[in-house]
Amino acid sequence: MTPDDLILKILQGKTEPFYFLYGPETFYQTEVIRTLIQKYITEDNRDFNLETFDARESTVSQWLGSARTLSFLGGTKLVVVRNLHEAVPQDQDAQTLTDYTQSPISEACVIITADKVDRKRKLFKTLTKLKTAVACEAPKENEGWLRKRAEEAGYSLSSDAARFLVNRVGPRPGVLAKELEKTLLYAGKNKSVSERDVAEVVGESKLENVFALTDALKTKNPEKALRLLNNQIDHGEEPIKILGTIAWQLRMIWEVKHYQQKNLPAGQIAKTMGAHPFMVEKALQHTRRFSTQQLRNGYLELANADRSLKSTSKDPTAVMQTLILNLCH
């Protein structure tokens, strides 16, 4: 079952007393929770029937205790628990939660989210096998997903318009949904949305050029570098690919600096390296900002980040953010 399938079922009144939403697309977590709130919660019962927990700051007994508390005026009690991946219950708490999933209270609806799961853990193995567990992942076919979403809103989005939108903003469903909403608002009463409509609303480029990030590193601007990093990740660029681009640029600066210290002119450096003269000229603009020792240290930081991305369970975004701050130091 996909998140879209789940949302449709909720809208049709086919709900369950327990859900587990897991995966990197937190947009879907928000969409499902919003749909459940719209179904169960009103202004009159919000203070009594809706309770939200952060798994990092609460316990299993608190979540389930809330679910067992009587709802207001006989409505359904909605209990939302976020960030299970950052505070996984252990031992008896894990067993207590597992037991609850097998026989949840029908008068409540408990929804637990995790941005990622470690399937080596028994609890996650159990939760992901539930029939009400839903993987929150990017749609396999973005263009079709966009057209269907537009249709549900009462619009017809052309294939060219859908393709154009994906090319402009990338594959992340949250970003796509936001830009589609803006486009549909722009279209107004015109229910047929064209590529031109998308072009009028959506920004010029898919995402800020990946090289802008390394330029920010060269100028030692951590605020800009972090903003560019987050922009690229939000638009679906994989952290390991971003790392590769940074490594390539840093190596270019190091090599150019090496030949520059031998007093070779730019043209000769390009010829010796077999590099495009434009790239050499660009690197020459930044060689003075890095000492040889800084470049060497930078490579060590890159190697550490590469190991963390490939061989640990650390959050990839956090690994890259730490790398950026270290390189700008």
pLDDT for 106 equals 92
Domain ranges of the chain: 3-135, 142-201, 210-328
Task: Please tell me the total number of residues recorded for the chain in this structure.
Answer: 329
**Structure-block tokens of residue 45:** 């019962």
At residue 207, the pLDDT reads 45
Give the count of beta carbons closer than 10 Å to the beta carbon of residue 252.
Answer: 19
Which amino acid does the sequence have at 141? E
Report how far residue 145's alpha carbon sits from residue 207's, in angstroms, rounded to the nearest whole number.
20
The residue type at 311: S
Q: How far is it, in rounded angstroms, from Cα 314 to Cα 318? A: 8
Read off φ and ψ for residue 21, nearest 5 degrees. Answer: -110, 125
* pLDDT at residue 237, as a whole number: 79
User: What is the mean pLDDT of each successive set of 10 residues along the chain, which is 329 residues long?
Assistant: 92 95 92 95 89 95 93 86 93 95 95 92 94 90 92 93 84 88 89 89 58 75 88 81 85 91 90 78 83 88 90 86 88
CA gap 284, 93 in Å, rounded: 58
- Under CATH, what is the fold of the domain 142-201? Helicase, Ruva Protein; domain 3 (1.10.8)
Report residue 75: phi and psi, to 5°: -75, 180
- C-alpha to C-alpha distance for 254 and 300, rounded to whole angstroms: 13
Tell me the pTM.
Answer: 0.62
Alpha carbon of 256 to those of 166, 274, 285: distances in Å? 37, 11, 10
pLDDT of residue 208: 44
280's CB contacts (< 8 A; 6+ apart) are: 252, 256, 266, 269, 270, 273
Q: Which CATH architecture has domain 210-328?
A: Up-down Bundle (1.20)
Q: In the prediction, which pLDDT does 278 show?
A: 66
- Rounded Cα distance between 215 and 225, Å, is 8
β-strands 77-82, 50-54: how paired? parallel
Which residues make Cβ contacts (< 8 Å) with residue 47, sequence separation at least 6? Answer: none
User: How far is the C-alpha of 191 from the C-alpha of 149, rounded, in Å?
Assistant: 13
Domain 3-135 has CATH 3.40.50.2000: no
Contact indicator for 208, 232 with CB cutoff of 8 Å:
yes
Q: Tell me, what amino acid is at 127?
A: L
Contact 309, 254 (CB under 8 A): no
